[in-house]
Amino acid sequence: MKNVEQDKKPSRKRTGTANQARQVTSAMTKRLYIETVGCQMNMLDSELVVASLRHEGYELVATPDLADTILYNTCSVRQHAEDKIYSALGRIKDLKRQHPEKIIGVLGCMAQKDQRRIIKRAPQVDLVVGPGQLHQIPRLLNEIASGGGRKIEVSLSRLSGSREKIEQSFESYDPLRDPRMRPSPYQAFVRIMIGCDKFCTYCIVPSVRGPEQSRAPRHIESEVRQLADEGCREVTLLGQTVNSYRHRENSRDVRLADLLYRLHAIEGIDRIKFVTNYPRDMSDELLEAVRDLPKCSPYLHVPVQSGSNRILRRMKRGYTVEEYREMYCRIHATVPGAAVTSDFIVGFCGETESDFEQTVALVRESRFKNSFIFKYSTRPGTKGAERFEDDVPDVVKRRRNNELLEIQNAISEEDNQPLVGRSFEVLVEGPSKTSLRQPETGPVLQLVGRTLCDRIVVFDGTQRQIGRIIPVRIDEANAHTLFGSMVTRHVGPEVYTLNVPD
Ligand code: SAM
Ligand code: SF4
């Protein structure tokens, strides 16, 4: 059951004018502008929305003024992400006034969270679609274009019915793939589950992305096979808690470790990554699969969020620092050389200097490859917002954020130094940002790629190497990037020896 709402009161005058203009544009190619904020799930959702609209004859354009349809795929994990979208909507208000036939849509997490409130705040919006309803977009756009008025299509809220009904209202959206929409056609995200049932007290994701549901392994396998046929070499499996993956098949549970074995067998796929891991679900079977499967990346993103047990309890993360530490040691004991990364929230409700110092100590001790650090942003509708006061002043949050970042960066830089002089297999993604900014100067191009452990490598190469896995020797390293040169194979003189008979 879908929570389908229609706005019954579109302005007649505006709709009339808009419809005439829309009928003219619909005879031509339809032009789409899409902007995406947020996580990898959102990037994947945008890729899929664009693929389905391309199928309907849309072409992508670079700016809103060139478009007939302007879509914002949104995030609501932090207030800042929402503010960005409301500012963008503000910027196109005049454009909509001058061209009422343009259709403006808000998709994704903010659409599910704010629903009709988006239209109250930004009446220029014609379409609001939650992340569980993205498959409806082509139909909804057609209906708006033919005068059907505004559309709001969202899933059920987590408290509004049986689990089964709520699950059904969030559909995993995994139809066509479009390599042209990906930063690199050789890499792709593949959703293996949707939603989350962990309900960390700070987090809006379980409300806006719905209950945790794992996709059937055979659907995932066939999608990965299709990606391999299209030339994709690396897949990153996505889930909010990806290592909680569980799907019942032939009366037995298929877990992430089993899925990795099945995907590993697909020809053409050379690398498999997966994000994001939940510390409590890091099983030995999964770590052994990572160790034993050569295509599987030993890169593990396992956010700890805080180094203080008091704060972890308030966050309802479901583990203690000691349990996290035990899991962390198990990772390194089972998968030597694994690259472990984390997320941290600083300034969560009630976080004292002493709590923060414990987080600092954990960062120093763990030596993560990298950490993403966020200032706590209160999210209306979460238990955190209901139960606790957001009492850490912003200036303190900022200071803690900078301090932790500085410590982490120093560790990352230090730990990258021993990599200098070593060679790594790098999957070449494309020209580096610097190279893209420069006019073409010749056949040599600065390229960017990643090691199996997800380290970014920049080196000089040629266009022909894009999409290949090649050896690169590291010459220099900073906290986030390794700089190297291609390893050219030495061709020995024996190749040229003429076999002259005595
Ligand atoms: N599912 C993942 C997990 O459990 O780690 C993370 C999903 S969330 C989109 C990504 C990160 O955003 C989290 O790990 C957390 O550090 C951060 N985050 C989530 N809610 C937040 C909030 N209200 N304020 C600040 N950061 C937040
Ligand atoms: Fe949010 Fe926690 Fe679920 Fe991650 S595990 S998505 S942080 S509720």
Round to whole Å and give the CA distance between 331 and 325: 10
Round to whole Å and give the CA distance between 431 and 287: 34
- Cβ(85)–Cβ(37) under 8 Å? yes
φ and ψ at residue 153, rounded to 5 degrees: -130, 110
> Which ligand 1 atom minimizes the distance to the CA of 205?
9
Specify the residue for token string 């947020």. 38
pLDDT of residue 178: 75
Two tokens, residue 193: 């589950």
Please indicate whether residue 444 or residue 14 has the higher confidence score (pLDDT): 444
Residues 6+ apart with CB under 8 A from 337: 298, 453
Full strand arrangement of the beta sheet holding 299-301 = 299-301, 339-346, 370-375
> Which ligand 1 atom minimizes the distance to the CA of 345?
16
pLDDT of residue 465: 95
pLDDT of residue 490: 59
pLDDT of residue 83: 96
Calculate what percentage of the chain has a pLDDT beyond 90: 82
Q: Tell me if 278 CB under 6 Å of ligand 1.
A: yes
Which residue lies with its CA nearest to atom 7 of ligand 1? 240
Q: How far is CA 482 from the centre of its chain?
A: 23
Q: How confident is the model at residue 4 (pLDDT cuts 50, 70, 90)?
A: very low
Res. 345: pLDDT tops 80: yes
Round to whole Å and give the CA distance between 361 and 125: 47
Residue range 265-297, pLDDT digits in tens: 999 999 999 999 999 999 999 999 999 999 999
Q: How confident is the model at residue 172 (pLDDT cuts 50, 70, 90)?
A: confident
Q: Tell me if 30 CB under 6 Å of ligand 1.
A: no
pLDDT of residue 175: 64
Residue to substitute in 372, 374, 388, 405 for testing ligand 1 pocket (most ligand atoms within 8 angstroms of CB):
374
Residue to substitute in 205, 278, 343, 377 for testing ligand 2 pocket (most ligand atoms within 8 angstroms of CB):
205
HSE (side-chain half, CA atoms, 13 Å) at 94: 3
As a whole number, mean pLDDT of residues 454-460 equals 97
Q: Tell me if 315 CB under 6 Å of ligand 1.
A: no
- CA of 199 from ligand 2 middle (Å) equals 6
User: What's the whole-number average pLDDT of the chain?
Assistant: 90
DSSP 232-276: --EEEEE-TTGGG-EEEETTEEEEHHHHHHHHHTSTT--EEEEE-
Q: Tell me if 241 CB under 6 Å of ligand 2.
A: yes
Q: How far is CA 238 from the centre of its chain?
A: 8
- CA of 50 from ligand 1 middle (Å) equals 26
Which residue lies with its CA nearest to atom 2 of ligand 2? 200
As to burial, measured by CB atoms within 10 angstroms (0-12 exposed, 13-18 middle, 19+ buried), residue 337 is: exposed
Two tokens, residue 58: 């849309």
Q: Tell me if 377 CB under 6 Å of ligand 1.
A: yes
pLDDT of residue 491: 54
DSSP 360-393: HHHHHHH--SEEEEEE----TTSHHHHHS---S-
The pTM score is 0.90
**DSSP code, position 296:** B
Q: How confident is the model at residue 441 (pLDDT cuts 50, 70, 90)?
A: low
- CA of 316 from ligand 2 middle (Å) equals 10
pLDDT of residue 179: 74
Q: How confident is the model at residue 433 (pLDDT cuts 50, 70, 90)?
A: confident
Q: Is 403 helix (H, G, I), strand (E, B) or coil?
A: helix
Which residue lies with its CA nearest to atom 5 of ligand 2? 198
pLDDT of residue 25: 47
Q: Tell me if 205 CB under 6 Å of ligand 1.
A: yes
As a whole number, mean pLDDT of residues 199-204 equals 98
Res. 5: pLDDT tops 60: no
| Strand 469-477 with 445-450, pairing | unpaired
> Which ligand 2 atom minimizes the distance to the CA of 276?
4
- CA of 198 from ligand 2 middle (Å) equals 6
- CA of 275 from ligand 1 middle (Å) equals 13
Residue to substitute in 199, 316, 376 for testing ligand 2 pocket (most ligand atoms within 8 angstroms of CB):
199
- Cβ(24)–Cβ(102) under 8 Å? no
Round to whole Å and give the CA distance between 104 and 69: 6
Round to whole Å and give the CA distance between 215 and 44: 15
Q: How confident is the model at residue 10 (pLDDT cuts 50, 70, 90)?
A: very low
> Which ligand 2 atom minimizes the distance to the CA of 203?
1
Please indicate whether residue 222 or residue 495 has the higher confidence score (pLDDT): 222
Q: How confident is the model at residue 497 (pLDDT cuts 50, 70, 90)?
A: very low
Residue range 36-52, pLDDT digits in tens: 999 999 999 999 999 99
CA dist 173 to 4, 192, 250, Å?
18, 11, 24
Element (H, E) at 154: strand 151-154
Task: Return the ligand number nearest the Cα of 374.
Answer: 1
Give which of 188, 185, 247, 183 is closest to 213, Cα–Cα: 247
Element (H, E) at 3: strand 3-6
pLDDT of residue 28: 63
Q: Tell me if 209 CB under 6 Å of ligand 1.
A: no
The terminus-to-terminus CA distance of the chain in angstroms comes to 87
| Strand 103-108 with 127-129, pairing | parallel
HSE (side-chain half, CA atoms, 13 Å) at 214: 18
DSSP 110-127: HHHHHTHHHHHH-TT--E
Q: Tell me if 240 CB under 6 Å of ligand 2.
A: yes
Q: How confident is the model at residue 24 (pLDDT cuts 50, 70, 90)?
A: very low
Residue range 384-413, pLDDT digits in tens: 999 999 999 999 999 999 999 999 999 999
Calculate what percentage of the chain has a pLDDT beyond 70: 90
Residue range 116-166, pLDDT digits in tens: 999 999 999 999 999 999 999 999 999 999 999 999 999 998 888 899 999
DSSP 438-486: SPP-SS-EEEEEE-TT--EEEEEE-GGGTT-EEEEEEEEE-SSEEEEEE
> Which ligand 1 atom minimizes the distance to the CA of 241?
1
CA dist 377 to 15, 202, 366, Å?
39, 8, 25
CA dist 416 to 227, 255, 292, 420, 433, Å?
32, 33, 25, 7, 21
pLDDT of residue 437: 67
pLDDT of residue 173: 74
Round to whole Å and give the CA distance between 139 and 473: 51
Round to whole Å and give the CA distance between 331 and 329: 5
Res. 23: pLDDT tops 70: no
Round to whole Å and give the CA distance between 404 and 358: 11
Round to whole Å and give the CA distance between 181 and 422: 34
Residue to substitute in 200, 203, 278 for testing ligand 1 pocket (most ligand atoms within 8 angstroms of CB):
203
Q: Tell me if 200 CB under 6 Å of ligand 2.
A: yes
Residue range 52-84, pLDDT digits in tens: 999 899 999 999 999 999 999 999 999 999 999
Residues 6+ apart with CB under 8 A from 482: 416, 419, 424, 451, 455, 456, 457, 458, 474, 476
Report the 10 Å Cβ neighbour count for 420: 14
Task: Return the ligand number nearest the Cα of 317.
Answer: 2
CA dist 35 to 71, 72, 152, 430, 464, Å?
6, 5, 19, 22, 30
Q: Tell me if 203 CB under 6 Å of ligand 1.
A: yes
As to burial, measured by CB atoms within 10 angstroms (0-12 exposed, 13-18 middle, 19+ buried), residue 406 is: exposed
Res. 18: pLDDT tops 60: no
- CA of 288 from ligand 2 middle (Å) equals 25
- CA of 317 from ligand 2 middle (Å) equals 8
Q: How confident is the model at residue 341 (pLDDT cuts 50, 70, 90)?
A: very high
Q: How confident is the model at residue 498 (pLDDT cuts 50, 70, 90)?
A: very low
Q: How confident is the model at residue 91 (pLDDT cuts 50, 70, 90)?
A: very high
